């Protein structure tokens, strides 16, 4: 299924990705939402789920934000209009929502953040704003009017004294009403404002976009932990500094620059950090390994069936290639695998798709090392058997 309508994935990546917005009518033909408003409300009652309610007081130009977990009483006291319920990471709780992410596999999986669900009655919205990441907005129920403006800057003026970041003024370049199954793509920093025209649900597929500051700080901290304190700055062969003792000379700058270059260019270090950083779970407590570990004999009988194995919704997978070998990382932790051709093929196959038919990997499982890798992934609770 191509969720981009009449546009090919290659055309989208060349013409629109991180360049300009795109409205796609009927991106999901005959769309039936995997969850309804009651399901969303139920998720927001759970302590493990990140949720918010944003209320707008239009008469006084004021906003209020409530943070979950909520109670049934919370919803019984809400007004009839002008509020929004937001629930983060519904893909980690609802397998059918996680399956929607498969339709966006033309973007690297390790860039995906989560699927956020929003429900709003008439007038509900979060105000005109902009994000620093790409987002696909899928209309799941009802109708929402979207206004889209130009790209913004951090210096653009926002409304003071409110708990959400709202643009004080927003130029409107385009305006559309989205129906169920329609989708709107927005690149980073484009101003947008969505308002519910009736009871409506919208699903936002967002992508991780760490700041350059996060990258530099994260990688340097990662490398610093590996170094310890025993290796120190040295300066053999320095010149007599009597005439200019306060001067940081070219020799010192060159030596410190060499330390930075040598440590930040260590082979494989950047690849390892990227894999760990970009697969790290925002909700670490949601994922736990199996309490009672399985043996190969426990799963071997199922391997002769036409079964499908599926990524646990709480697992984030990525791999990279180093010296012609694959290094697998899940939820920020490197998975040690024996570097054989069969093992590497199995790791790549399992990583690149959420659902894998056993028919496709049965020949690989004749190898002992592949059996050990698959068993390790099951015991880590990164895979489970699902219906064909």
Q: What is the pLDDT of residues 158-195, one digit of tens each?
A: 999 888 999 999 999 999 999 999 999 999 999 999 99
Distance CA 144, CA 196 (A): 4
Question: Which letter does DSSP use for residue 59 in this model?
Answer: G
Q: Tell me: pLDDT of 246 over 80.
A: yes
* Beta carbons of 370 and 294 less than 8 angstroms apart: no
Taking the model in full, what pTM does it have?
0.93
Domains of the chain: 9-207 (2.60.120.650), 212-235+249-266 (no CATH), 284-386 (3.40.366.30)
Tens of pLDDT along 192-204?
999 999 999 999 9
Predicted confidence at residue 388, as pLDDT, reads 58
Query: Token pair of 280, please?
Result: 């790290």
Backbone angles phi, psi at 165, to 5 degrees: -85, 105
- Helix, strand or coil for residue 344? helix
Sequence-distant (6+) residues with CB within 8 A of 282 are 89, 113, 114
> Would you list the DSSP string of 198-266?
SSEEEEEEEE----HHHHHHHHHHHHHHHH-SSS----TTPPP-SS-TT---HHHHHHHHHHHHHHHT-
What 3-state class would DSSP assign to 360?
A: helix
Render pLDDT for 363-376 as a digit per residue (tens, 0 to 9): 999 999 999 999 99
pLDDT confidence bin for 337, thresholds 50/70/90? confident
Q: Which helix (H) or strand (E) segment is 84 a member of?
A: strand 83-87
DSSP string, 111-142: GEEEEEEEEE-TT----SB--SS-EEEEEEES
Share of the chain above pLDDT 90, in %: 85
């Amino acid at each position: 299924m191509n969720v981009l309508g009449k546009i090919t994935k290659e055309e989208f990546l060349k013409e629109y990705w991180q360049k300009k917005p795109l409205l796609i009518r009927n991106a999901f033909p005959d769309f039936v939402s995997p969850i309804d408003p009651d399901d969303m409300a139920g998720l927001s009652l759970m302590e493990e789920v990140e949720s918010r309610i944003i209320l707008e007081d239009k008469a006084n130009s004021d906003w209020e934000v409530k943070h979950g977990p909520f109670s049934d009483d919370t919803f019984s006291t809400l007004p009839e209009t002008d509020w929004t319920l937001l629930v983060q990471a519904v893909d980690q709780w609802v397998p059918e929502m996680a399956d929607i992410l498969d339709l966006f596999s033309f973007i690297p999986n390790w860039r995906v953040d989560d699927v956020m669900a929003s429900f709003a009655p008439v007038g509900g919205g979060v105000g005109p704003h902009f994000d620093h990441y790409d987002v696909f907005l899928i209309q799941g129920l009802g109708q929402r009017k979207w206004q889209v403006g130009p790209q913004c800057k951090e210096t653009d003026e926002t409304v003071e004294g409110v708990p959400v970041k709202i643009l004080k003024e927003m130029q409107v370049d385009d305006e559309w009403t989205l129906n169920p199954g329609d989708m709107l793509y927005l690149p980073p920093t484009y101003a947008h404002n969505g308002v519910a025209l009736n009871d409506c649900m919208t699903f936002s597929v967002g992508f991780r976009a760490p700041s350059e500051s996060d990258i530099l700080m994260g990688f340097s901290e990662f490398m610093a932990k590996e170094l310890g304190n025993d290796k120190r700055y040295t300066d053999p062969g320095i010149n007599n500094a009597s005439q200019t003792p306060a001067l940081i000379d070219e020799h010192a700058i060159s030596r410190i620059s060499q330390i930075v270059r040598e440590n930040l260019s260590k082979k494989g270090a950047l690849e390892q950090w990227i894999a760990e950083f970009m697969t790290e779970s925002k909700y670490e407590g949601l994922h736990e390994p199996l309490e009672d570990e399985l043996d190969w004999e426990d799963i071997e009988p199922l391997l002769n069936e036409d079964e499908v194995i599926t990524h646990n919704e709480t697992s984030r997978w990525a791999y990279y290639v180093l010296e012609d070998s694959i290094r697998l990382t899940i939820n920020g932790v490197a998975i040690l695998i024996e570097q054989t051709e069969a093992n590497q093929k199995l790791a790549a196959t399992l990583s690149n798709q959420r659902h894998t038919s056993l028919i496709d990997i049965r020949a690989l499982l004749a190898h002992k090392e592949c059996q050990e890798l698959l068993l390790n992934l099951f015991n880590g609770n990164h895979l489970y058997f699902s219906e064909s």
